[in-house]
Structures are given as C-alpha cells and as structure tokens.
Structure 1
Amino acid sequence: MKEELKNIFLAGVGSAAYTYEKATELIENLIKKGQLTVEEGKELTEELKRTVKEKTEKVSAELKPLTKDDMAELLREMNFATKSELDELKRKIEELESKLK
C-alpha cells in the first residue's frame, strides 16, 4: 500500500513536471513568434515555477505518514485477516490434522 501511495505521488510530480515543460515550450514559441517579449516570457516562466513549487509543496504537506492505526484501518477495509485470525485458523487446522492421525 505504501508503494502504491508513493507511485501516486510520483505520478503527480511527473505530471507537474510535464506540464511545466510544455508550458515553458509554449512561452518560448510565443517569444520566437514575437507575441511575447523576452521580459514577459521570463516573468511568465518565473510565475510558472512559483506556481508549480507551491502546488508541489502543498501536496507534499498534505501527504502525512501512515500511522499504525491508519494501516490497520486500511487492512480492515480491504478485508485482510488479522494475525489472531490466522493463528486461530492454524490452531484449528492442527486440531483437525491431529484427529485424522
């Protein structure tokens, strides 16, 4: 589960990086076509950097580490067996096996 959350976070960061890259290309093209001045392009690029950084920091701040209770709740929601349930099943299997002998 931790790996899945990590992958989701990395996908978000990758999307932000890709968006930044494409926006930068667009700004450069506008400058080349004369629709933006170099100074306006620099300002837009700096604003874009700030926005991406702020959004990335916000997402990072919202991701909190999973506590033991969080993990237990996730496992319950996913209907995983607990250690005590597995131990009980093991005990019952051993009991049935001993009756067969």
Structure 2
Amino acid sequence: MADIANGIAEAARTAFLAGVGAVAFGAEKTTEFVDTLVKKGELTVDQGKDLNRELTQKAKDTVNEAQDAVLRARLATMSPAEREAFADRARQIASDMNAKASEDAGATVDVEVEVEAEDGDAEAAE
C-alpha cells in the first residue's frame, strides 16, 4: 500500500515539475511575443507592461494551484499522525529559515580604518 502511495506522490511531483517548467517556458515565450508587439507598435509600452504583469500573475496562480494539488496528494497518502508530524516539521523548517533571515538582515560588518596623518594634520585633528 505504501508503494502505491509513494508512486502516486512521485507521479504528482513529476507532473508538478513538468507544469512549472511549462509555465516558465510559456511565460518566457509570452514575454518575447509581447516585446515583439511593442517593437512593431501594435502595443504601447504601458500596454505591454500591463499584459506582462497580468500573464505573470496568472502563471503564479497556476503554479500555486499545482503546488497545492501536489501537497494535497502527498498528504492524502499519510495517516493523521503522519500529517501532524509533517506539519510540525514544516513549521520547524519555516521557523529555522525565519531565524536565519533575521540573522542575515541584522548582521553588521566591523571595519577598522587606519588613518595616517601628516605632521601638520595631527595638530589640526587634536
């Protein structure tokens, strides 16, 4: 039974990755097409930007829906206890990543600068 569930989860994962690749390829080709229309004068630059934004949002929505479907398929193969352990592990990973991001954002760099003053400048500095 576990082999079947793992097979289903792997198939869903593969389908998801193929979908993400297709969306990325489609977004790239769409951007090229919109740029071509702008160059030909069939679209204004602003219309092209708006169209790109709209298409990018649709692509993101499609990827999010696919991610949700893969996650649901994976969770469907788990027992309630396994789902709870998975959720706990996901929360811990998210917490670790948030802590790391906070450390990186708050990191400071100490820099020592030595300044040599000429004799005349030493009196002015005092």
TM-score range relative to shorter protein = 0.5 to 0.7
Larger RCO, structures 1/2 (Cα 8 Å, 6+ apart): 2
> Deviations for 1:1-48, whole angstroms, at most 9, x for unmatched residues?
243332221111000111111111000000000000000000000001
TM-score of the superposition, structure 2-length normalised? 0.50
User: Does structure 1 residue 27 correspond to structure 2 residue 34?
Assistant: yes
d(CA) in 2 for partners of 1:32, 1:47: 19
Kindly report structure 1 stretches of 4+ aligned residues shifted beyond 3 Å. none
- Of residues 52-61 and 36-45 in structure 1, the stretch that sits farther from structure 2 once superposed is 52-61
Aligned letter for 1:60? Answer: Q
Q: Percent of pairs identical after alignment?
A: 39
Q: 5+ residue gaps in structure 1? A: 70-101
d(CA) in 2 for partners of 1:7, 1:29: 33
Residues 1-101 of structure 1 mapped to structure 2, 5 A cutoff: 1=7, 2-63=9-70, 64=72, 65-66=74-75, 67-68=77-78
d(CA) in 2 for partners of 1:28, 1:50: 18
TM-score of the superposition, structure 1-length normalised? 0.61
Counterpart secondary structure, 2:24: helix
Q: 5+ residue gaps in structure 2? A: 1-6, 80-126
CA-atom RMSD in angstroms:
1.5
